[in-house]
Chain A
């Protein structure tokens, strides 16, 4: 069943249109990878889903309910959480305080401070530390944990591997199966096609604001994906 469906979504910033007639279905309980070059519109799509960018009425439905025009904080309360690009932690807050802010919407569910520390044990010893003293990988763990604290039905992860060493990226991606096991749906925006395909049930490719490919990764050859990614 489609948890989040996007229909004929066209948005942009003022006169500058970024997305053109996007159709997208994210099925409940699945992991979707969204790939595409810089400027393809991936982050813009996430901004529209989270309510940061005003989308036309009826263009976005979450759990069967139109959410375009709903303010971001109310969309969080419905069960959409975001791990923003570049992590965007709160620098004046400690690790644990960052996690607690994530629980502001007070949604009930499996994710608690304890469960987040179980998922990312490295954070437990650093819980009182200012986030700036953490390594990039640990900061990314805080950002994911902070989003999980709202017990989302849909977790949106924007470029979680950006600027991290491959071994650190691997440890971050190791967390996704445990998150999926709780029934949470995941959308991961990723530049690395290989990693995206390895973790996802479905893959969607954006190119210049249009969907150029969508479906289970097995359906597509490497050449199909390259064509969808770069164009002809």
Chain B
């Protein structure tokens, strides 16, 4: 076995992890701050991919330029979604928001089907999709996966800075600890939740735009993205964004190696790693101890 056969899939897998991390971060934020599991998370990413497609085609712009429109649009949608639909069902019971977001998932999928049909679509616009950098010895990395990975690292670093050093970040952490007492400190939890969802959807929009650039997509792709997001969060450990990135990279490597040996079993290899981690270390690799 040549060195190439080992290094190449690992490297491609690590970069794929950047994409998976972007899928996962929004979900992790909603759960961390609001204790809310957004079942429609994957569908929102796919929705963002379609919105990117529409913006690219109607405005005839580069997909990266399109993100300047797509990201704020999804953030605004997130704010309104939380205030109108999700805040009223948030409470001690975790079931109502689960059901509402499940319904939202079905609605988004069917709307996309109605508007765009079930045919796979993609964006074929940019040289960046095929560009790569040779590393010698036959190894090469794609420019796009590299950009996606760098974006994931930047998003995680940016969020960690936000949580550590800003008033908004403190308010997020305080609300996550105890939302009743946070209200007694003057924090408007309904507004704060809406800001959190806006942030989550902005990141999902970045993920969706990159998804659209990377591959073709269909309206029913959402649930599989949700699953990857869940697995990355659980492998990495709840409450740690760097952990989520690491978990996503581990899943990416597992899938990439799996694909190399049998093109049908790559996804399955990822699930096996997820199950193995659940068995050996159910709290995840980098779980931040949650003090109650």
Contacts and interface: CB of A to CB of B under 8 A. Distances in A.
Say whether A and B bind each other.
yes
Interface of A: 50, 52, 71-74, 76-77, 81-82, 84, 88, 90-93, 97, 100-102, 104-105, 132, 146, 150
A101 B176 contact: no
B177 interface: yes
A50 B173 contact: no
B220 interface: no
A44 to B, nearest CB: 14
Interface residues of B, number: 20
A104 B176 contact: no
B167 to A, nearest CB: 7
A91 B292 CA distance: 7
A73 B188 contact: yes
Contacts of A81: 184
B185 A92 contact: no
A91 B185 contact: no
A84 B171 contact: no
Contacts of B174: 90, 93, 101
Nearest to A82: B184
Contact of B170 (A84, A97, A132): A97
Contact of A104 (B177, B180, B186, B291): B186
15 contacts: A52-B184, A71-B188, A72-B183, A73-B183, A82-B184, A88-B178, A90-B181, A91-B177, A91-B292, A93-B173, A93-B177, A100-B167, A101-B171, A104-B186, A105-B186
A85 B188 CA distance: 21
Given A97-B170, A104-B167, A52 B180 contact: yes
3 smallest A-B Cβ distances: which pairs? A105-B186, A76-B186, A72-B183
Interface in B154-202: 167, 170-171, 173-174, 176-178, 180-189
